[in-house]
Amino acid sequence: MALMEQAFVLTDRDFSRVRRLIYDYAGIKLSEQKRNMVYNRLVRRLRSQGGVDFSQYLDLVQAERSDEREAFVNALTTNLTSFFREAHHFDLLASWAGERAKSVSAPLRVWSSGCSTGEEPWSIAMVLREAGCRAEILATDIDSEVLRTAHAGIYPAERTESMPQARVRRHFLRGVGANEGLLSVHPELRTMVRFGQLNLQAPSWSAAGRFDAIFCRNVVIYFEREAQLRLADRFAAVLAPGGLLLVGHSESFPASHAAFRSCGRTAYERRLT
């Protein structure tokens, strides 16, 4: 074992405490199998605090008005994403929005409820711009660090390599000089998206009004089943009749809910009644 690794020991008691705190703060239920992940992510925070041990670090997290609590949640949040991930959802959104634009003049309201570093809401904006559909997109996440990246809307060019180049040229501006190799989302896309921090398991949501479509993909996989069902209730309450709820490839929490019917692969429509 490397010397640096020997400096920190994650005891059973500390690991249990981590699991309890991330559940209390973010509703995330970590399994026993996530111990190595917890160690690897939190040991960076221990070093940032001068090499405290896990017990001392968790005391800092729990301290009243702690500045470390947000960093703790950020460290344990999973943020794997990419542009047009699970492409079938964007194909469905494009056809659905195109039909809607023919008969409804009001902007389409879409919520990316776990937006991570922004690839999902910017992908939504690209699809709706291509469909000629006016839209207001709300992008939220519990992790303040990834929200800063999402809001900036600047990405290495290689992040778009799987996209058709015509789409890249239409929706991004290429950096020059010191910014060569970077892409910035088009100003028109920026007018469509607003960002905010939000915990889906908070008692109330700052996201007001109704939405025509909600993306909640690969967000609730660590939530308990009861929490997932409560979330389905809350989504049903803010989703317009006929609206879309799109979930991750391994998630099915709306499937048994009376307010939803399946309308595609991991896609659900809000029933009219």
pLDDT in tens, 41-98: 899 899 888 889 999 999 999 998 888 988 888 888 767 689 999 999 999 999 998 8
> Cα–Cα distance between 146 and 153 in angstroms, integer?
11
Supply the pLDDT for residue 2: 40
Annotation marks residue 141 as catalytic = yes
This prediction's pTM: 0.82
pLDDT of 104 higher than 80: no
251 HSE (CA, 13 A, CB side): 24
Q: Taking residues 216-244, report their average pLDDT.
A: 91
Give the model confidence (pLDDT) of 162-214 as tens digits.
899 999 999 999 999 999 999 999 999 999 999 999 999 888 887 667 999 99
14, 45, 109, 141: which one is catalytic?
141
Supply the pLDDT for residue 207: 63
pLDDT more than 70, % of the chain: 96
Annotation marks residue 67 as catalytic = no
17, 35, 41, 170: which one is catalytic?
41
| Angle in degrees, CA 212, 214, 220, rounded to 5 | 160
Query: How many residues appear in the chain?
Result: 273
pLDDT of 6 higher than 70: no
Structural domains of the chain sorted by starting position, each given as residue range(s) with its CATH number in brackets: 3-76 (1.10.155.10), 87-270 (3.40.50.150)
